[in-house]
């Protein structure tokens, strides 16, 4: 919300025909042994011996998935990559390559795209993935970003959504609802800014919420941890749309039911206090907020001792037979059927 | 340009949250052995043993890459897949899977998306590829389609853009310029339609041009043919932006120069006659028109006997040292340096 009036602006048209791509991709370095050829030909070339590959893709559109009035472009680039990697990790796989396509309208100067790509590169470096291709084109309106991520998984280690069995435990990583509350804070501050552009917002009390919204991380660490603990989940999904949607996906695809315990849902103290401030129910936020990018998975009860002391994991529910339903067990011990919300992608 | 006022219209919102994806993807059948899991999880899972993979992606945007006033949605879906496959074949690889993401505004009813997907499915069937994932989201304005294609290539058979050597021959498949002239016809008819909506255009004399513009094919057949002929090109690229751009790409990446013979450029009779009708130079059309999706490659002279009698191939030039330049040798035997035009993607 703080505009730098002296920002350098280079028109995209100044770069000439092929200059933009060269300019934006010149620093990409290959990190993965499986990347034989990255950017610069008709297609990237990858090589994997005796491994399965996973592929996932996401489309992010200005005005639908992000609002540039409060999302810095560098963060947007970072997030665009991370949300795709999250889908790879949700297969119990390790992400290795991405392709990134962008469409931009003339209102974006080169420096804006550089910021976006700086975020993309930062994510690639932190998650140790190669950027192996993409497409850059003009758009008639805003900015859009399409990312496809590729990952690898050894032997039969991949975990689908359809393997949950009755009596399995439902486990979630991290905590939920913070990204959604971060968005509420940003939207509130945007309204304040419209009224008084000189007002400097104090976002310090909401630092965790801001970070979860603007710079989410994918749980690569959990895939390593599960391997170290010798736990192979029976089913797994990442939480992009909200806990309730994801539980329904796991249950429907596994043909099981579930009891989710409201009292067990992990919430950060900032989520609880900000929900009080906004007078909204924190369970509703955790169930429907989305953008947490935590992993939700089921394990056989035999694996419980391996995860129970670990602060990364919270057991939040119990898998039942399909005809027993998908229910929230409230703090008052009543059962309420869980309903999904949101718009869904094919692989998400 | 002929509108059916009785078209059935189902609002996308009527389908419920996850209904759209299920509806659009329910008929996708897995054809490739390497597709372990397609649509329906966080990511697709692929398995390739001892093979290299190629990956390429393209973004098509309404108002930039297509105009729905004269492109039927089914054709658009078909073309969106085919242009990506073309990049896979340009690596001397065989396409195996695609992911397809679309963003649509509310103005599109379900039936429009069904048409689009019908085209996508038709391409998948004809080219024997699996649709293994994607993302479907709303857009604030028009339609956009992002396709990522994956292919496989055995041993060291992949062909890059950077392998051309002095004395190699420059070869092109099929003929050039027809897709561009098809677009000129469509744009002319659109203007006529604006003035008189009852006018029924007679497109029969331009049937080949129409087909090349609206329903281009990727040269999968050429990859098989080259294999059968035991010809491995030294470099290869597909012609998406126009012959001149692609020649420059090959030459720059291979660090060579080239003489392109104007008199050798293959043109369909309809291109020649329509260029006369529009009073434009057919060589300019072939050089800069684009969207031909033919393959442009170089071969060592030793391989010339293998291809010379084949009607699929035309030798159009000769590779020189880099400092001899990249030139068009005109019919009048003068040399003109070739310049690129157009907007370029990372892998295209």
pLDDT tens digits, one per residue of B120-163: 999 999 999 988 888 888 888 789 999 999 999 887 899 999 99
* Mean pLDDT value across residues B29-58: 79
Contact B136, B229 (CB under 8 A): no
Q: Are B17 and A344 in contact (CB < 8 Å)?
A: yes
Distance between CA B27 and CA B21 in Å, rounded?
11
The C-alpha of B76 sits at a distance from chain A's nearest C-alpha, in angstroms, of 18
Q: What's the CATH superfamily of B12-154?
A: PurM-like, N-terminal domain (3.30.1330.10)
SS3 A163: coil
With bands split at pLDDT 50, 70 and 90, how would you rate the model's confidence at B262?
Answer: very high
Q: How many percent of chain B have pLDDT more than 70? A: 89
With bands split at pLDDT 50, 70 and 90, how would you rate the model's confidence at A337?
Answer: very high
Contacting residues of A for B12, CB less than 8 Å apart: none
pLDDT in tens, A66-107: 988 888 999 999 999 999 999 999 999 999 999 998 898 878
- What are the structural domain ranges in chain B? 12-154, 169-337
pLDDT in tens, A170-208: 999 999 999 999 999 999 988 888 888 887 778 889 999
pLDDT in tens, A270-328: 999 999 999 999 999 999 999 999 999 999 999 999 999 899 999 999 999 999 999 99
With bands split at pLDDT 50, 70 and 90, how would you rate the model's confidence at B239?
Answer: very high
Q: Are A57 and B135 in contact (CB < 8 Å)?
A: yes
pLDDT at B311: 96
Measure CB to CB from residue A43 to each of B87, B342, B343 and give the nearest one.
B87
ipTM, interface predicted TM-score of the complex: 0.85
The CATH number assigned to the domain with range A16-154 reads: 3.30.1330.10
* Mean pLDDT value across residues A23-38: 73
Contacting residues of B for A62, CB less than 8 Å apart: 140
DSSP B155: T
Single out the residue of A181, A344, A318, A192 nearest to residue A260, CA to CA. A318
Q: How many percent of chain A have pLDDT more than 70? A: 89
pLDDT in tens, B178-226: 999 999 999 998 888 888 888 777 888 999 999 999 999 999 999 999 9
pLDDT at B214: 93
Distance between CA A301 and CA B94 in Å, rounded?
45
Contact B149, B98 (CB under 8 A): yes
The C-alpha of A239 sits at a distance from chain B's nearest C-alpha, in angstroms, of 10
User: Which of 238-257 (A) contact B at CB < 8 A?
Assistant: 238, 245, 253
B185 alpha-carbon distance from chain centroid:
19
Measure CB to CB from residue B18 to each of A161, A162, A344 and give the nearest one.
A344
pLDDT at A5: 47
Contact A79, A51 (CB under 8 A): no
Cβ neighbors of A57 (< 8 A, separation 6 or more) are A84, A146, A147, A148, A149, A347, B99, B101, B133, B134, B135, B146, B148
Q: Which of A30-39, A215-224, B139-148 has the lowest mean pLDDT?
A: A30-39
Which CATH architecture is the domain A169-337 placed in?
A: Alpha-Beta Complex (3.90)
Count chain A–chain B contacts defined by CB atoms under 8 A. 270
């Amino acid at each position: 919300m703080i505009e730098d009036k002296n920002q350098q602006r280079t028109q995209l048209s100044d770069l000439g025909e092929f200059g933009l791509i060269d300019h934006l991709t010149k620093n990409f370095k290959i990190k993965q042994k499986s990347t034989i050829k990255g950017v610069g030909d008709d297609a990237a070339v990858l090589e994997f011996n005796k491994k399965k590959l996973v592929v996932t893709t996401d489309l992010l559109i200005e005005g639908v998935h992000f609002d540039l009035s409060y999302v810095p472009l560098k963060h947007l680039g970072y997030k665009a990559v991370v949300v795709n990697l999250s889908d790879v990790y949700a297969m119990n796989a390790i992400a290795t390559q991405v392709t990134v396509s962008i469409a931009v309208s003339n209102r974006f100067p080169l420096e804006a795209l550089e910021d976006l790509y700086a975020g993309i590169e930062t994510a690639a470096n932190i998650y140790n993935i190669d950027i192996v291709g993409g497409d850059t084109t003009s758009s008639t309106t805003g900015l859009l970003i399409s990312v496809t991520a590729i990952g690898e998984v050894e032997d039969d280690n991949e975990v689908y959504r359809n393997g949950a069995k009755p009596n399995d435990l439902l486990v979630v990583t991290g905590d939920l609802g913070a990204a959604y509350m971060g968005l509420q804070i940003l939207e509130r501050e945007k309204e304040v800014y419209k009224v008084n552009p000189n007002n400097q917002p104090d976002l310090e009390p909401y630092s965790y919420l801001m970070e979860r919204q603007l710079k989410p991380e994918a749980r690569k660490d959990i895939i390593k941890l599960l391997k170290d603990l010798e736990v192979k989940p029976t089913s797994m999904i990442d939480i992009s749309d909200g806990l309730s949607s994801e539980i329904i996906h796991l249950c429907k695809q596994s043909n099981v039911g579930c009891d989710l315990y409201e009292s067990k849902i992990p919430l950060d103290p900032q989520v609880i206090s900000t929900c009080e401030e906004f007078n909204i129910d924190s369970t509703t936020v955790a169930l429907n907020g989305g953008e947490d990018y935590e992993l939700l998975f089921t394990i056989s009860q035999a694996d419980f001792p391996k995860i129970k002391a670990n602060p990364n994991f919270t057991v939040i529910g119990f898998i039942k037979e399909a005809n027993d339903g998908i229910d929230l067990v409230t703090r008052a011990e009543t059962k309420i059927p869980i309903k999904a919300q949101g718009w869904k992608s094919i692989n998400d």
